[in-house]
Amino acid sequence: MSNSDPTSTASGGGVGFAGLLTVLFVALKLTGVITWSWWWVVSPIWIGFSLGLAGIGAILLFAYLLATRDERRAERRRGQSWR
């Protein structure tokens, strides 16, 4: 039965793809179907985390370059004026 109340605050979060893949890999490892290292069994977790950190790093780098753009342009102009 679905709740059609528009004021309801319940959300349908659930387990994501990486979580399901990790559970699958752990089950396959424990049953002996795969003989991978545990590093690869839990790789959906750390790969997703690493990609997230890389994305945040890229955003921070872009924001830094955007914030210092005018300063770098002024520095280039000062360097060209004595030539």
Residue pLDDT tens, the chain, 83 long = 555 656 656 666 778 899 999 999 999 999 999 999 999 999 999 998 999 999 999 999 999 999 898 888 888 888 776 55
The per-residue pLDDT for 12 is: 66
Residue 66 forms part of a structural domain: yes
- Interatomic CA distance for residues 27 and 36, integer angstroms: 12
Quote the CA–CA distance of 40 and 35 in Å, as a whole number: 10
pTM for the predicted model, two decimal places: 0.58
Query: What pLDDT shows up at residue 72?
Result: 82
Domain that holds residue 58: 17-81
Domains held by the chain: number: 1
| pLDDT score of 58 | 98
